[in-house]
Amino acid sequence: MGELIMDVKRAKGDKWNQTMKMGGNVLSKQVYADGKAVASGMGGSQELSGDDLQMVMEEAMYFPELYAPEKATLAGAEMMGDNQVYVIKWSDDKKTFYDVNTGLMVGQESASKDMQGQKISALMRFSDYKEQSGVKFPMTIGMSMMGRDLAFKVQKVEVNTVKDADFQ
């Protein structure tokens, strides 16, 4: 199997573009801007609405803690691997985990429903932080979903390089 490339672009105003490619072919693309979201892939494209739109809107917020701190509740502390983490509950379906010692986000757990209405949980882990333009970014992102583990290695982080055309 070839290399899976995930390209994520963000801009002020909650603009977001996530494109997944393999072998030079676009497998899926989601774009959010100006309150609208479009998902496209090999089967065509569609404008998102309802829960799907809400989920993309939340994903588009780069630092949701800054936008809606009133939605966050400190749910306690627990161990994640060898590290003690603070657990922040955003909703019944979303939690984030912050390392007690570094303050860095080391995990995010979310739940959604599939086409049959079954609940699907996903855990993302963030590690190997590197500083770029004064902000620390995770260079390794692990994802556990439906019994599968994926690891993404960030190849590069660019700051202030996106254009409005990236969100159309």
Contact 168, 19 (CB under 8 A): no
- Note down the domain range covering 159: 63-168
Question: What predicted TM-score, i.e. pTM, was given to this entire model?
Answer: 0.78
Residue that terminates a domain, selected from 10, 43, 62: 62
Specify the number of domains making up the chain.
Answer: 2
pLDDT, tens digit, 9 for 90 and up, residues 9-67 = 888 878 889 998 888 888 899 999 989 999 998 888 999 998 888 888 888 877 777 87
Same domain assignment for residues 14 and 84? no
Looking at the structure, tell me whether residues 19 and 56 fall in a common domain: yes
Number of C-beta neighbours around residue 124 at 10 A: 20
Instruction: Say which CATH number the domain at 107 has.
Output: 2.50.20.10
- Residue 122 sits in the same domain as residue 141: yes
Burial 151-162 (b: 16+ CB within 10 A, else e): ebeeeebeeeee
Q: What is the DSSP letter of 159?
A: S
